[in-house]
Amino acid sequence: MNPDDHPLPHDEPLEESTRIDPLPDSSGDGPPPQSLDETLAELPAGDMTERTGETTAEFRPGWKANLVAYLDGELSEQDMQELDEVLVQDANARTSVEELRQTWDLLDVLPRPTVTEEFSAQTLATIQAIHDEDPSNPSPWTGRTLVVGVWIVLLSISSAAGVWVTDRWQPNPTDHLIQQLSVVERLEAYRDIGDVDFLVALANTDRFPRPSQPDGTDTREPPLLVSIPEAPQQRWTYVAKLPADRRRQLKKNLKDFDNLSGAKRLKLEQLDDQVSEKENLAKIAADFHDWTKTLQPWQRDELRKQRAGASSKVELVVKYLDEQQKQDADRATGWPLTLGNRQGPVLDSGDFKKVIDTIADRLPPMQKQQLVTNGDLEGTARALKVVELSTTLVRSRPGGRPLTPLERLRPRWPHPELGRAIVEAISAKSVREWLHEVQQEEPIRARIATLIIRSLSAEGLRELRRNRPTRGELLELFIELPREEQDDLMRLPTSKYFQQLERIHDSQRNPQGILNQVQRLVRLAGRLLPRRGRRNGNGNGSGNGANKRGLSPRGQRPGSPSSRPPATGPPGGSR
Amino acid sequence: MISSSNQFKFLHDPDVQRMLRVQDGDEEAFGELVESFRERLIHIFSHLVGGHDAAEDLAQEVFLRIYRARESYRPTAKFSTWLFRIANNLAYNARRTLGRRKEITITPDDSGPLGPRPAEQLLADQSSLLPSRQFVTREMRDQVQEAIESLSDRQRLAVLLHKFEGMSYADIGLSMDLTPQAVKSLLSRARENLKIHLKKYVSN
């Protein structure tokens, strides 16, 4: 901008083009726009020369007008740079800026008001009185108020007409969002589903919703199952309560929705009507949407591109679902629930706590003291410590006979008295029955040990779920990770991405928890669990089947957890 | 005109969220708004219309208007922008009603027949070490007060909103029905005027 081309802008009067639209309902009265004469009248005499565009001193008017905005950081980058150059070259300009700055600082000496508590009390009492006013007893209208009322009505009508006309020409995107909130909020899911026909065909397969999804990757309530309010004002409130990232997503969804073809928009609106009305369809849609996040990106793309009709798309879904379930079944033999290739029940959280407390109560004084010094341990961290302390106690066999070297390596735990106490602490009938199915080669002691190890693992997973972080917490965690880890995570499919982030979160929040102490659990299992079959000497067994004989030379089963890289998440078979 | 695409961002404003809670019938949220803005409003009004009592009355009126308008409220700007816009209108009306009648106000540090009030005197003593310094500060404060009063109503409001509310030119513009460019010009002139009035306190 060439400052010589522009006299100093007028401060008060505004032409129609420079006035802004009023804010909503900020009261009908208030100051009218000021006239040019009024404005000039209140200007200091010295400013009059600037009005004419003449230079008064060392600055051209444009620069001078920018000095205050410069101090306030309200100049454009370009103007700021230009003024910087002037200030570097001109000492008078620097003095002027400094004087303005000091003058501004002087305002700090102005007294601040003291506000009495009565003010708030009186204000709120008045508000209460307004609130309690009986609308059925309006005060009688005087002639004057009647006239005023008529004027208000007329003005309102003309304003409303103006707004309506304006909206016809330029629709307000925010109103548009509120109007389309239901479909826009669920757009991501609806784009996966496509139309009502597919959703109905999907419902007919009885494959969705899937039985239970304890390891679902989405930690928030799916929008499909959240009721979207009907009234616009309630919709405003709904949007206002959303976190910032969700609101940004809504904006993006609205844009995407508007970019769809009219026919597609209509289909999605019809879909939204059905989902909003029928709860079972909403559940199916929500679960289907969750499920799509577990797909590989190419599979998801294939589904979205499928245009051969609802039945073909459903066939593809069933195919992918079957493949996944097969993979899950294969993984189900993995860590941790089948650690030691053992089958059997696990304790629920209540029984697990009782059993751990039972073991802790029976620790000798020295071990109890050791537990006390680890007093900050909780949950599975404490449980693991308790079992470790208990199993390291076994120094001799009943009767005082010293342990053989093998027995020292693999103690006979629990001893009979502790075993009885553990069984008594268990309230689940099915578990007690399983424990009493004593077999020749597997005494009750071995079954208790198996039960404890498996239950430690299971409780670890439950702990992970109980402490599951929110999406926001995961996002914060992701931001703080090193770049390399972020890159690795970004390569994972969506479901794995969140699983892995949850594991990292858990490892930071609960480092002593069982899922972060895999090696200790493996060592414990190695010491306590009886080995099935015989060593075949060459250690070449495949090791994953329940009755495989082969053990590695180190006594580890190939494919057992200790021979794998650290787990990247709860196994798929834990569902 | 407020850009419609920008309206969405105002939902981040915690006061907007409080106002939406008020709209939903949450009286507690309204109490929070009163607590948050009462002192700021009274401060602004005390400079715009003079007199603590008048400032309190006007501040209360602002809150009443906000409450009455709750059902039609739509978050198309920051809440404070809307609130100070109402305040601006009320201040204008109040000044018009008062006309040229000068309201004589007793400010806390006025030396009236009874002298400064004890508690305030104590506070002043605690905040300054020497009587001479106290005098200078008091004299300076009077001069600053005079300088502020010398500004036009619009200039004064713009200065107060910018200085004490930290509002941007754009927000001041929304509150005063001006473009940011006009606010820039208004503040530029206001601060030049202040500089002239307070020249003796400004070192070169």
Q: Dmax over Cα atoms in chain B, in whole Å?
A: 59
Chain A residue closest in CA terms to B12? A244
DSSP β-bridge partners for residue A402? A396
Distance between A82 CA and the closest CA of chain B, angstroms:
17
User: If you average pLDDT over residues A3-26, what whole number do you get?
Assistant: 41
Q: Is the dihedral of CA A411, A417, A420, A425 positive or negative?
A: negative
- Neighboring chain A residues of B192 at a CB cutoff of 8 Å: 44, 47, 68, 100
Residue A343 domain-assigned? no
User: If you average pLDDT over residues A296-315, what whole number do you get?
Assistant: 79
Residue A575 domain-assigned? no
CA–CA gap between residue A384 and residue A391 (Å, rounded): 11
Chain A residue closest in CA terms to B167? A72
At A329 the pLDDT is 55
Residue bearing tokens 């996966």: A192
At A137 the pLDDT is 40
Distance between A475 CA and the closest CA of chain B, angstroms:
19
Instruction: Count the domains in chain A.
Output: 5
- Neighboring chain A residues of B43 at a CB cutoff of 8 Å: 112-113
Contact between residue A460 and residue A567 where contact means Cβ atoms under 8 Å apart = no
Distance between A121 CA and the closest CA of chain B, angstroms:
9
- Neighboring chain B residues of A119 at a CB cutoff of 8 Å: 38, 42, 56, 59-60
Residue bearing tokens 């033999």: A333
CA–CA gap between residue B191 and residue A44 (Å, rounded): 12
At B1 the pLDDT is 41
Residue A435 domain-assigned? yes
Residues A370 and A411 in one domain: yes
At A530 the pLDDT is 64
Residue A288 domain-assigned? yes
Q: Do A21 and B187 touch (CB under 8 A)?
A: no
Choose the final residue of a domain: A87, A107, A127. A107
Residue bearing tokens 């029928």: A278
Residue A449 domain-assigned? yes
User: If you average pLDDT over residues A72-83, what whole number do you get?
Assistant: 84
Q: Choose among A25, A66, A128: nearest Cβ to B72.
A: A25
DSSP β-bridge partners for residue A137? none
Residue A400 has pLDDT above 50, yes or no: yes
Burial of B189 (0-12, 13-18, 19+ CB in 10 A): buried
Distance between A220 CA and the closest CA of chain B, angstroms:
20
Contact with chain B for residue A553, Cβ under 8 A: no
Q: Which two three-digit tokens encode residue A41?
A: 């009248």
User: If you average pLDDT over residues A209-231, what whole number do you get?
Assistant: 65
Judge: domain B119-204, CATH 3.40.50.720.
Answer: no
Residues A270 and A286 in one domain: yes
CA–CA gap between residue A380 and residue A455 (Å, rounded): 10
Q: Do B179 and A120 touch (CB under 8 A)?
A: no
Q: What residues make up the domain containing A256?
A: 180-331
Phi/psi at A564 (nearest 5 deg)?
A: -105, 160
Residues A82 and A196 in one domain: no
- CA nearest to A387, candidates A419, A356, A429, A342: A356
- CA nearest to A226, candidates A238, A236, A215, A208: A238
Phi/psi at B135 (nearest 5 deg)?
A: -65, -45
Residue A310 has pLDDT above 50, yes or no: yes
Distinct helix (H) and strand (E) counts, chain B: 9, 0
Identity of the amino acid at A265: R
Q: A344 or A50: which carries more pLDDT confidence?
A: A344
Residues A155 and A262 in one domain: no
The residues spanned by each domain of chain B are 7-101, 119-204
pLDDT tens track for B150-198? 999 899 999 999 988 888 898 899 889 899 889 999 999 999 999 999 9
Which of A115-119, A210-214, B92-96 shows the lowest mean pLDDT across its residues? A210-214
Which of A167-181, A280-294, B14-28, B116-130 shows the lowest mean pLDDT across its residues? B116-130
Q: Do B60 and A106 touch (CB under 8 A)?
A: no
CA distances (Å), A134 to each of A131, A140, A224, in order?
A: 8, 14, 40
At B83 the pLDDT is 92
Residues A418 and A316 in one domain: no
pLDDT tens track for A451-494? 888 888 888 877 877 777 777 778 778 888 888 888 788 777 76
Distance between A102 CA and the closest CA of chain B, angstroms:
6
Contact with chain B for residue A370, Cβ under 8 A: no
Residue A277 has pLDDT above 90, yes or no: no
Residue bearing tokens 């060459």: A538
SS3 percent helix, strand, coil of chain B, rounded to 5, is: 75, 0, 25
Residues A209 and A313 in one domain: yes
Residues A166 and A263 in one domain: no
- Neighboring chain A residues of B178 at a CB cutoff of 8 Å: 14, 18-20
At A421 the pLDDT is 92
Contact with chain B for residue A130, Cβ under 8 A: yes
CATH architecture of B7-101: Orthogonal Bundle (1.10)
At A456 the pLDDT is 86
Q: Do B178 and A104 touch (CB under 8 A)?
A: no
pLDDT band at A428 (very low <50, low <70, confident <90, very high): confident
Give the list of residues 6+ apart from residue A83 with CB closer than 8 angstroms, or none: A63, A66, A67, A70, A75
CA–CA gap between residue A144 and residue A329 (Å, rounded): 82
- CA nearest to A383, candidates A422, A415, A417: A422
When mean pLDDT is compared over A217-221, A567-571, B115-119, the highest value belongs to: A217-221
**ipTM value:** 0.75
Identity of the amino acid at B9: K
Chain A residue closest in CA terms to B74? A24
Q: Do B163 and A26 touch (CB under 8 A)?
A: no
CA–CA gap between residue A363 and residue A414 (Å, rounded): 12
Q: Do B72 and A115 touch (CB under 8 A)?
A: no
* Side-chain half-sphere exposure of A233, counting CA atoms within 13 A: 12
pLDDT band at A504 (very low <50, low <70, confident <90, very high): confident
Q: Is the dihedral of CA A392, A397, A400, A406 positive or negative?
A: negative
pLDDT band at A439 (very low <50, low <70, confident <90, very high): low
CA–CA gap between residue B9 and residue A82 (Å, rounded): 32
pLDDT band at A256 (very low <50, low <70, confident <90, very high): confident
- Neighboring chain B residues of A127 at a CB cutoff of 8 Å: 27, 30, 63-64, 67
Residue A114 has pLDDT above 80, yes or no: no
Could you give the angle at the alpha carbon of B58 between the alpha carbons of B55 and B59, nearest 5°?
Answer: 85
Residue A14 has pLDDT above 80, yes or no: no
- Neighboring chain A residues of B12 at a CB cutoff of 8 Å: 244, 247
- Neighboring chain B residues of A160 at a CB cutoff of 8 Å: none
Residues A473 and A458 in one domain: no
CA–CA gap between residue A392 and residue A386 (Å, rounded): 10
Task: Compute the mean pLDDT over every residue in chain A, rounded to the nearest whole number.
Answer: 71
CA–CA gap between residue A438 and residue B131 (Å, rounded): 96
Residues A100 and A153 in one domain: no
Contact between residue A301 and residue A292 where contact means Cβ atoms under 8 Å apart = no
Q: A51 or A421: which carries more pLDDT confidence?
A: A421
When mean pLDDT is compared over A35-44, A76-85, B147-156, the highest value belongs to: B147-156
At A356 the pLDDT is 94
Interface mutation vs chain B, best among A16, A95, A107, most B CBs within 10 Å: A107
Residue A128 has pLDDT above 70, yes or no: yes
Quote the crossing angle between the two packed helices B169-176 and B180-197, to the nearest 10°.
Answer: 100
Residue bearing tokens 């715009």: B48
Q: Do A19 and B179 touch (CB under 8 A)?
A: yes
Residue A56 has pLDDT above 50, yes or no: no
Contact between residue A380 and residue A460 where contact means Cβ atoms under 8 Å apart = yes
CA–CA gap between residue B77 and residue B3 (Å, rounded): 10
pLDDT band at A558 (very low <50, low <70, confident <90, very high): very low
pLDDT band at A568 (very low <50, low <70, confident <90, very high): very low
Residue B77 has pLDDT above 80, yes or no: yes
Count residue pairs from A and B with Cβ separation < 8 A.
236
Residue A175 domain-assigned? no
Chain A residue closest in CA terms to B187? A68
Q: Which two three-digit tokens encode residue A471?
A: 């999406």
In chain A, residues 288-317 whose CB comes closer than 8 Å to chain B: none
pLDDT tens track for B107-158? 434 333 333 333 333 334 334 334 444 455 678 888 898 999 899 989 999 9
CA distances (Å), A397 to each of A135, A380, A411, in order?
A: 88, 29, 9
| Three-state DSSP class for residue A393 | coil
CA–CA gap between residue B33 and residue A216 (Å, rounded): 40
CA–CA gap between residue B164 and residue B161 (Å, rounded): 6
pTM: 0.38
Rounded to 10 degrees, the C-alpha dihedral A130/A134/A139/A145 comes to 50
- Neighboring chain A residues of B23 at a CB cutoff of 8 Å: 233, 236-237
pLDDT tens track for A314-357? 988 998 888 777 665 554 444 444 454 456 788 888 899 999 99
Residue bearing tokens 């104590």: B122
Residue bearing tokens 């540090």: B109
In chain A, residues 180-239 whose CB comes closer than 8 Å to chain B: 233-234, 236-237, 239
Residue A21 domain-assigned? no
Q: Do A25 and B193 touch (CB under 8 A)?
A: no
pLDDT tens track for A145-195? 666 777 777 887 777 777 666 555 555 667 788 888 999 988 888 888 888
At A86 the pLDDT is 83
User: If you average pLDDT over residues A106-111, what whole number do you get?
Assistant: 84
Residues A408 and A523 in one domain: yes
| Three-state DSSP class for residue B139 | helix
Residues A440 and A474 in one domain: no
Q: Do B60 and A236 touch (CB under 8 A)?
A: no
Residues A460 and A484 in one domain: no
CA distances (Å), A478 to each of A244, A471, A498, in order?
A: 17, 10, 10
Q: Choose among A43, A130, A236: nearest Cβ to B75.
A: A236
Could you give the angle at the alpha carbon of B56 between the alpha carbons of B50 and B60, nearest 5°?
Answer: 135
Residue A542 domain-assigned? no
At A499 the pLDDT is 76
